[in-house]
Amino acid sequence: MAIVFDQVNFSYDGQAPVLQDVNLTLASGQVTAIIGQTGAGKSTLMQHVNGLLKPTSGQVRVEDFVLDAQTKEKTLVALRKRVGMVFQFPENQLFANTVLADVMYGPLNFGLDKTRAQQAAQTALQRVGLPEQYWQVSPFDLSGGQMRRVALAGVLASEPEILVLDEPAAGLDPKGQADLLAMIASLRAEGTTVLLITHQMEHVVAVADHVVVMGSGAVQTVTTPEVLFQHDSAWFAQFGLALPKAGRFAELLAARGMKFDRRPLTKAALSVDLNARIGGERDE
């Protein structure tokens, strides 16, 4: 389902605006990365998608649901069934005595009976790769990466149509990050809309169809990763952003005289480019 921000402004209790004149359409069934330096308004923007925050003015439309300053709290249950959110700090999202009970909470809250809720929770825990040996353990006895998996499972168990992930790779080791990216790709293939807040540009390249760049509470640009990462260094510095590692390495090579027709964005693309050059030099 498409998400539309229409002239959205937001401020906390009349203070300086955090979001300013946001007009934005987020495509359904795709992965959109939301990037920008700390304080750019990324998390605030995404918290409007499931009604955790309401616009000071303007409106947010999630299919047929309209969120504005007058929206009543009791009407937000239907929206939150559609929109799942995994916060940046998973320990703030966990509360139950056991992992399984924590993950069951969402399905139970949205009307499933205990048996079906348990089945949904077990499926979600398997999907995030948390072994069964941890299901009866307190979530607060887990590592940070494991807690993040539990928080994600708790959202997936309710089968949301839209999934908001706020820095989901924090606390995950390289394998955990790879598993997360594979899961995001799988969710997209199933038709889930994924909104990904991240500072990791490699993840943007790996899974994002579109990118929204936020700065000073406003949308600075909406584009694709392929177009975004061809900007020059001054553009990235302006918004406190960085290139993916492969792109940064290519920039170092370019400074030493090795020119690229297009900046490679992945290790694989950089390797292909360099191998082609080495092969060409040998042929000469």
Q: How far apart are CA 34 and CA 212, in angstroms?
A: 5
Rg of the chain over CA atoms, in angstroms? 21
Placement of tokens 């992992």 in the chain? 99
Report the half-sphere exposure of 29 (CA within 13 A, side-chain side).
Answer: 3
Burial of residue 180 (CB within 10 Å: 0-12, 13-18, 19+) is buried
Q: Tokens for 172, please give them.
A: 């995950």
46: closest CA among 134, 257, 105, 36? 36
3-10 and 83-86 beta bridge pairing:
unpaired
281 labelled catalytic: no
CA atoms of 284 and 279, how far apart (whole Å)? 9
Which residue in the list 63, 132, 161, 167 is annotated as catalytic? 167
Catalytic residue annotation: 167
